[in-house]
Amino acid sequence: MPAAIRTAGLCKRFGSLTALDHVDLTVPEGTVHGLLGPNGAGKTTTVRVLATLIRPDEGAAEVFGVDVRDDPGRIRSLIGLTGQYAAVDELLTGRENLHMIGRLFRQSRPDCRARASELLERFGLDHAADRQPRTYSGGMRRRLDLAASLMARPRLIFLDEPTTGLDPRSRMEVWRLVRELVGEGTTVLLTTQYLEEADQLADSLSVIDQGRVIVGGTPGELKAQVGQDRVDITLLDSEGMDRTVRLLRDRLGADPVADPEKMVVRAPLADGGTLPDLLHLLRQSGVAIGDVALRRPTLDDVFLAVTGRSAEHGSDQRDSRKESERT
Amino acid sequence: MTSTTLTRESGTSSTQAPNTLGWWLSDVWEMTLRNVRHVLRSPDLVMFSLVQPVMFILLFTYVFGGAIDVGGDRYIQFLLPGILVQMALYGSAAGTTIGVAAEMREGLMDRFRSMPMSRSAVLIGRTLSEIFRNVGVAGVTVGIGMLVGFRFHNGLLPVLAGLLLLLLFGYAVSWFAAYLGLSVRNAEAAQAVGGVWIFPFTLISSAFVPTESMPDWLQAYAAHSPMTAAVNALRALLSGGPATSYVLQTVAWSLGLIVVFAPLAVRKYGSR
C-alpha cells in the first residue's frame, strides 16, 4: 500500500527565494504527521504543493501514490484542506457553506443535507447553522472550516496551523475533533509552530527550517532532546523555601533550584509529578504559594537544541504560559 | 453528543459516478447561487447599484440635457439607452474586477482549487450573477427613465430583444473585468483599474451626445466604438429605427470578448 504522502527531494523556489529545499517526507496512511517550524519555514508551501495548489519545481510529491503533477484531479477528490485562514464564505450561512462544498464534491443533495446537519451538530454549530460566519467567533469559524473539509469524507486532511489565533478553549476543541478524525483512520498532515500541539496530536514530526527538514522523529524523541516541562513556584515568604526544595526533591527525584531573591523554586516536572499533586503536597505542608507557572519546552527550545540558534518567530508566539493544571 | 462518523465509511462512497457535463452544470449552478446570494445579502452594494442610475439620469436630464441638441427628440428619450449600457458596464466591470481580485486573496479560493470541482464554474458563476444584478439595475433605470418622460416606441419583442442584448454585452464585459481582476491580484490595484476605463469608454460614444458633435479625430473612434454600437442598437430596439447592423456589431463584440477573455481568465484562475 502506498504511503498517504511521500515526497523525495521536493524543491520549490519563488524567484530567488528557496521555499523548499529537498524535503523528504513519508506519512503512512492512518497516522498524524506534524510539520513543525517557524513562520516562513516552508510548512505552508509543502501543504500547497501536496494539495495541488502550486507546482513543485523538482523532486517527487505523491499523495496515495499519485504524483501531484500527473493527476491533480484524482488527488483533489481524496483530500481536505483547512488553511491558516478560515476558508468559508462570509455571506453564506454555516449550513449553506457546507451544502455548497458537499455539492462541489459531487455528493447528492440528500447526502449533503444529512452530512451538513450531522457535522454542524457534531461540531457544536447547530445553534449557529443558519447564521453567516461573520457573526461567529474565531473558534466557531475554524470549526466550520474544518467541517467543510470533512464534507466529502477525505482520506487525507491537511491542517495548516489549525489553532493559530484561537483561545485555549477553542484550541482544545479543535484538538478533540482532530483526535476523533484520527481515531476513524483519516491521515492528517498538521503544520504548527507549537511543540505542544505537535506533541498532543502527532505520531511523528518533522522540524522544518528554511525549507529543509532539520530533524524528524516521534514527539517523545524530540522532547528528549530538548528537556522536560518545568515548574516555577513563587512563594509568599522565604521561610517555606527550604521545605519546598526538600519536598520537591523527594517527590520528583530531581534537584530543584532555589532563587531566594525572587522567592522562586524551579524544578523539572518529571513523569513522577503532576502540578495538582505538587500543589496539594505543598499546601498540606503549609507552604504559602503566591504563584505557579508551568514552563513547557517550545519550538524555540527545539531549535536551540538542534541548531544552536533561536527560531525567528512571528508575533503570535506563545513561549511560556501559566496554567492551572497540566493537561 | 451522538457518535457519528466524521470520515469515510468503509466500503461505501457517497461520491457519485462522474458525469462530466452534469457535474459541470451543477458546479456552475452552485457558484451562481453563491454569487447571487452575495448580491442579495450586500445591502450597500444593492443600494449603490440602484442609486447610481437614478443619479445619472437626473444629472444628465436636468443639468446637461437642456444644452445637448439631439435633433428634435426629448433628451431622456436619447439618453436612457446610453445610461442603460453605461450602468450595465459599470456594474459588470468595476464590480467584477474588484470582487474577483478581493476574492482571490481569500482562503476560500484555495479551497475551491484544492477540490475536484470545475475551475471555469467559479468564474462563470461570478459573471452569471452580474446578469442577475444587471436585470435589477436595468429595471430601476427604466422605471426612473419613465418617470422623467422616457417612452418605449417599439413592440414588445424588439424591446425584449434590446434588454437581452444589453445583458449579453454586460456579461461579455464582465469576462474582460474578471480577467483584469485576476491579473492585478491586489484589491487596491483593482479599485484603481476596475472602473477607471469605464468613463472614457462610455462617454466617448453616442451614449450621451450625438457623435457628430465631437471633433473629427474623436468621432472616428466614437463612431466605431463597441459602446456606440451597443447604445445605437438599444436605442433602435427601444425607440424604433434600423437596428440590424448595430445589433450584429454588438453581438459580434460580445462574443469576441467572451471567446478571448473567458479562456484567458479561466487559465489565469487555474494557474499554479
ipTM: 0.84
- Reported residue count of chain A is 327
Contact B6 A154 (CB under 8 A): no
Average pLDDT over residues A122-134: 93
Model pLDDT, residue A222: 78
- Helix (H) / strand (E) element for A233: namely strand A230-235
d(CA B58, CA B67): 14
Between chains, do B110 and A81 touch, taking CB under 8 Å as contact?
Answer: yes
Q: At the fourth CATH level, which superfamily is domain A5-224?
A: P-loop containing nucleotide triphosphate hydrolases (3.40.50.300)
Tell me: the pLDDT tens digits for A24-56? 999 999 999 999 988 888 999 999 999 999 999
Region B249-258: mean pLDDT is 96
Q: How confident is the model at residue A311 (pLDDT cuts 50, 70, 90)?
A: low
pLDDT, one tens digit per residue, over B69-104 is 777 778 899 999 999 999 988 888 888 888 888 888
Spans of all domains in chain A = 5-224, 228-296
Read off the pLDDT band of A314 (50, 70, 90): very low
Q: What is the CATH number of domain A228-296?
A: 3.30.70.100
Where is pLDDT greater, at A64 or B66?
A: A64
Which residues of chain B have a Cβ shorter than 8 Å from any chain A Cβ? 1-2, 4-9, 14-16, 18, 23, 26-27, 30, 33-34, 37-38, 41-42, 106-108, 110-117, 272
* Residue ranges of domains in chain B: 24-270
Q: Do the Cβ atoms of A101 and B115 come within 8 Å?
A: yes
Mean pLDDT of the region A57-80: 93
Instruction: Give CA separation, B210 vs A112, B75, B216, in Å.
Output: 56, 11, 13
B-interface mutation test, from A93, A97, A100, A104, most B Cβ less than 10 A away:
A104
Q: How does pLDDT run across B20-32, given as a tens digit for each residue?
A: 888 899 999 999 9
Mean pLDDT of the A166-191 span: 89
Residues of B in contact with A184 (CB under 8 A): 5-7
**How confident is the model at residue A272, as a pLDDT?**
58
Q: A7-46: buried (b, 16+ CB within 10 Å) or exposed (e) per residue?
A: beebbbeeeeebbbbebebbbeeebbbbbbbbbbbbbbbb
- Whether the full predicted model's pTM is greater than 0.95, yes or no, is no
Q: Report chain A's mean pLDDT, rounded to a whole number.
A: 85
Query: Distance between CA atoms of A107 and A150, rounded to whole angstroms?
Result: 12
* Residue A240 pLDDT class (50, 70, 90 cuts): confident
Helix (H, G, I), strand (E, B) or coil at A22: strand
Q: Is the pLDDT of residue A319 over 50?
A: no
Instruction: Please tell me which of A69-78, A267-276, B10-19, B70-79 the model is most confident about, judged by mean pLDDT.
Output: A69-78
Contacts of A57 in chain B (CB under 8 A): none
Query: What does the alpha-carbon distance between residue B102 and residue A171 come to, in Å, rounded to a whole number?
Result: 29
Identify which of B27, B38, B110 has the shortest CB distance to residue A104: B27
- Estimate the crossing angle of helix B119-147 against helix B96-104, to 10 degrees: 150
- Indicate whether B229 pLDDT > 50: yes
On chain A, the residues whose CB falls within 8 A of the CB of B27 are: 103-104
For chain A, percent of residues with pLDDT exceeding 70: 91
Q: What is the structure's pLDDT at B15?
A: 45
Nearest to B7 among A92, A132, A153 (CB): A153
Q: Lowest mean pLDDT: which of A15-19, A272-276, B149-153, B163-167?
A: A272-276
pLDDT at position A239 is: 79
More confident residue, B163 or B52: B163
Q: Is pLDDT at B16 greater than 70 in this prediction?
A: no
CB contact under 8 A, B14 and A150: no
- C-alpha distance from B136 to closest chain A C-alpha (Å): 20
